[in-house]
Structure 1
Amino acid sequence: MSEASNEKTNVLRLLQSGQLGNIELGLALTESLLIDIEEFKNDIELLFEWLAPERRFLAPKEFSFAEKLQKITTATEVYLDKCNLTFIPMQIKYMTKLETLKIFNNHITALPIEITSLENLIELYLDNNELTTFPLEICKMTQLVDISLSYNQIDSLPVEISNLVNLRRLHLESNELTSWPSQINTLTQLQGLNLVANRLKFIPSEIGELIQLQHLSLDNNRLKSIPLEIGNCMQLEYLSLSSNRLSSIPSTIGNLTNLDSLNISRNPLKSLPQEIGNLKQLSALQIEETKLQQLPETIGNLSKLQDLLIQLGQLKTLPAETGNLINLKRLDLNYNFLQGLPGEINRLKNLELLSLLDNPITDSEKEKISSWLPNCDIRFE
């Protein structure tokens, strides 16, 4: 028997045994096994070559076609970074076991329709490519749980995105979105949403429909306000709104009692709502580069707070209630207008770092502060 016949027989044996999974090969298996597999073989060789930068596919030249085929059809994850790829070949349809596809820092502009046959794919990452539209092919893959298309040039989302009923995390950082995609509001199972560094000016009240949301990142946009309905997102644990144009924070933020981290830095904020004191689970609060001259007394209710960062602001005083933050480990007050601190600060026995660089604090006040917190690393200059 010739070498070619042997290889054909081996391939067919694998196909019939089921070892390669349930794949549509476009081949007609017959009793006589009289099949021309050359076209299929070429497809697999092309796909194998395309996958070459992925280390698990760097196989010795002596690997037979059957071995390559088995390797491809049983792979569950592919990671291709900085490979100068310009396309995803249609032959990817043979990778039916694939669960995670990561193609970072390439030049992909579109997806082949064949990608929709990957019924086991649940994670799709195409960050840092050259997509200008949200591929409709993705909207047909209703099993997807994680999608990341950050660092592309996408300016809108299709209506069909509402088909992604299983989607839990959507990352669209650093794209060209200028308005809130209303289609997002239909993704009621969404737990993580990242729209950092787009051009958003407005968030509709419908954001309150995302009641499963746990992680929301809207930094570096052009937002002037946050709707009251943000308070309906009561599962939120992480909320970041830094580098926008917010002059106020809605009082309903106090409803977010599961919040662990809040960043509202680099906004022209002049005040904070008293309701911020309701965030009893908060461990990190960043309020850097704002116009705040004082904090609400209710800040002292944040009994689990460990990091409080308020540098580059306009603070003139701290409320005495700051002394109630007994779990505070880091307090950064650099570059404000503080002339001293309240004596109640001496209750912060867990404070490890107190930074007061470039504040108009007199030497006598510095001595007081140092005596109140003898075990703390205090930095005045």
Structure 2
Amino acid sequence: MIVKEVLLFLLISGVPKVHSANYDRDRDCPAKGVSHPCSCTPVAIDCINRAIVGIPPAFTKTNWVFEKVDLSQNLLTRIPARAFQYVNVSKIILSNNNISSIEPDAFQPLQDQIKVLDLRNNKLTFLPEVLGKLHSLNVLDVSYNPIQYMNFTDNVMRELGDFINEFHFGDDNLKGWPESIHHLQMLRILKFYGGSNEMDRIPITAFKGFEWTLEKLWMQNTQLIAVPIALQDLKSTNELHFDNNVHVGDAGILIPAFAGLTDKLEVMSLENNSLTTFPSVLLTLRQLHNLSLARNNLQFVSDQAVSVVGSNLTTVNLQACGLDRIPGALSKLEGIIDLDFSNNKITTIEKNDLQRMVNLQRLDMSENPLQYISRSTFYDLKRLQNLTLQETELYLVPYAITNIPTLKTLDLTSSDTYIECNCDLNWLYCYTTHNNTGLTIIGDCETIQMGIDRYARTRIPSVCPKIC
């Protein structure tokens, strides 16, 4: 009897309509019409770089739930009330505009569903109060806005502290560290950029309030003269990106600053900090497995200096360090899986280079003036899968690859093709046919309009003497 009554009710009232799981451009995109400046995909409303000066650009209401609306690289100067009332998104991108003001009701009726708000590179001079009303906000980026430290107001930062876990801030004219940042007591990711010449250090209490929650920290493009001592208070940070701080130098990598991170830090980037050697602090970081020292002047680094590197490293980036050889001491780091030597000054790879690197899987030697690779090298690289030799001066396919039974990809791509393809590559045909059928060689011949891989597999057996 009950079932019959339910069926009768449905027939009378009608079954509620269910939104289709299939996206329909004409029906579901709020940016309708051929003249509309925006376009849609099933996940995004794309309004990037369309010379838009005002919001909304003739949006129409639909029920489709998008991930984001992207209005970056436009000419917006203000965000008016209810600017996004006809879009259904959780992520709003407004970076690279000229926004100087945001109305108190700008994000109605989305205030309880916005999770990411990107206001990078605008003209804001203070934190708008409306930000404190976005109670689902997880990620806020206000970096490269001319907001001075006293304009990170207590009332807004206190509101943000109840829910935000990722915060980006800073500007080249910032004169001090905002004390109100201690309100962000749920912060897991902090990205700080810039700072004026007056800001060559930050307070020892800079991370107070989130010292137990912060997991990842970026401090880049600053005028700092040393790694902040405030780091020593961080209890949970496993990733540090301290890059492009050109006034730091070797003396600025302070060992006491890392006192609380010796058993926590797993990833560290010290790129372009005017270093000339491997910092001694590396010996204290027992859990470090990913290290980048790219774009430092390590040209005259000694093997003894390399010896401070911990044995737990699996990824090392020494890109653009002015190296003219492969430091021999790296051979003791048998756990390395990924090694980047690209864009250096290395001309040869000798027999004893890369010895004992038995776990190495990826090696990048691209953009070096590399002319010679010993036939006797690579013997210990029994797990190497990817060897990148792009933009070098090699004119022969290196015979040493026959020492790498696991090699899957050899990349010899070059804008100035040097590789000579002739019957001297008989060995390559024999090797790929009988020993390593899974190897793919990327790059072109100089002497014939054909790829090296295709030449070795098809041309050689048809025109060259068979010597296998």
TM-score of the pair, normalised by structure 1: 0.69
Partner of 2:320 in structure 1?
A: 266
The residue matched to 1:367 in structure 2 has which SS? helix
1:309 to 361, 365, 368: 365
| Partner residue in 1 for 2:337 | 282
Q: Distance in 1 between matches of 2:129 and 2:106?
A: 21
CA contact (8 A) 2:378 2:400 kept: no
TM-superposed CA distance for 1:264, in Å, is: 0.6
Contact 1:254–1:279 (Cα < 8 Å) also in 2: no
In 2: Cα distance, 1:275 partner to 1:216 partner:
18
**Are the equivalent residues in 1 in contact too, given 2:377–2:400 (CA < 8 A)?**
no
Structure 1 pair 288/234, CA: closer, same or farther in 2 (3 Å)?
A: farther
Letter in 2 for 1:376: T
Within 2, Cα distance between the matches of 1:343 and 1:131? 53
Report the equivalent of 1:376: 440
Q: 1:86 to 1:365 in 2, by over 3 A?
A: farther
Equivalent positions of 1:170-185 (< 5 A) are 170-185=217-232
Using the alignment, how far apart are the partners of 1:354 and 1:265 within structure 2? 17
Q: 1:268 to 1:214 in 2, by over 3 A?
A: same
> What residue is the counterpart of 2:60 in the other structure?
none
Tell me the equivalent position of 1:116: 158
Greater shift after overlay, 164-173 or 227-236?
Answer: 227-236
Q: Does 1:102 align with 2:135?
A: no
Question: Shift of the alpha carbon at 1:272?
Answer: 1.4
Moved more, 223-232 or 98-107: 98-107
CA separation of 1:292 and 1:183: change in aligned 2, threshold 3 A: farther
What residue identity is the alignment partner of 2:154? Answer: I
Compute the displacement of 1:222 (Å): 0.5
Asked if 1:58 is matched to 2:47, the reply is no
What one-letter code is carried by the residue in structure 2 that aligns with 1:308? Answer: D
Cα deviation for residue 113 of structure 1 reads 1.7
Aligned residues of 1:214 and 1:235 also touching (Cα < 8 A) = yes
In the alignment, which of 420, 425, 448 is matched to residue 367 of structure 1? 425
In structure 2, what is the Cα distance between the partners aligned to 1:141 and 1:319?
58
From 225, 236, 241, give the equivalent of 2:277: 225
Give the C-alpha shift of residue 189 in structure 1: 2.1
* Inter-CA distance 322–158: structure 2 relative to 1 (3 Å threshold): same
Within 5 Å, give how 1:151-190 maps onto structure 2: 151-153=194-196, 155-163=200-208, 164-165=210-211, 166-190=213-237
Amino acid at match of 1:59: Q
* Structure 1 partner of 2:249: 201
Q: CA RMSD in A?
A: 4.0
Q: Which has more helix, going by share of residues?
A: 1
1:148 deviates by 1.0
Of 255, 258, 261, 2:311 maps to: 255
Alignment of 1:3-18 (within 5 A): none
**Alignment size in residue pairs:** 326
Partner of 1:45: none
> Does 1:125 pair with 2:182?
no
Aligned to 1:170, the other structure's residue is in SS state strand
Q: Does 1:335 align with 2:418?
A: no
Amino acid at match of 1:192: E
Aligned residue number for residue 38 of structure 2: none
Could you tell me the percent identity over the aligned residues? 15
> Any idea what SS the aligned residue of 2:308 has?
helix
SS at match of 2:142: strand
Residues of 2 paired with 1:341 and 1:283: CA distance? Answer: 20
Q: Corresponding residue for 2:292?
A: 240
Q: Is the 8 A contact 2:338 2:363 kept in 1?
A: yes
- The 1:56–1:198 alpha-carbon spacing in structure 2 relative to 1, beyond 3 Å, is farther
Q: 1:79 to 1:268 in 2, by over 3 A?
A: closer
Find the aligned partners of 2:120 and 2:319 in 1 and give their Cα distance: 33
In structure 2, what is the Cα distance between the partners aligned to 1:365 and 1:281? Answer: 37
The structure-2 alpha-carbon separation of the partners of 1:321 and 1:205, relative to structure 1 and needing over 3 Å to count, comes to farther
- How many Å separate the matches in 1 of 2:203 and 2:173? 17
Task: Decide which moves more: 118-127 or 366-375.
Answer: 366-375
State whether residues 236 and 256 of structure 1, in contact with CA within 8 Å, keep that contact through their aligned partners in structure 2: yes
Give the conservation status (yes or no) of the 8 Å contact 1:289–1:311.
yes
Contact 1:285 1:305 in 2 (8 A): no
Query: 3-state SS of the aligned residue for 1:195?
Result: strand
The one-letter code matched in structure 2 to 1:177 is L
Q: Following the alignment from structure 2 to structure 1, what is the Cα–Cα distance between the partners of residues 82 and 374?
A: 57
2:409 maps to 352
CA distance in 2, matches of 1:132, 1:155: 9
Displacement of 1:363: 7.0
Q: 2:340 aligns to what SS in structure 1? A: strand
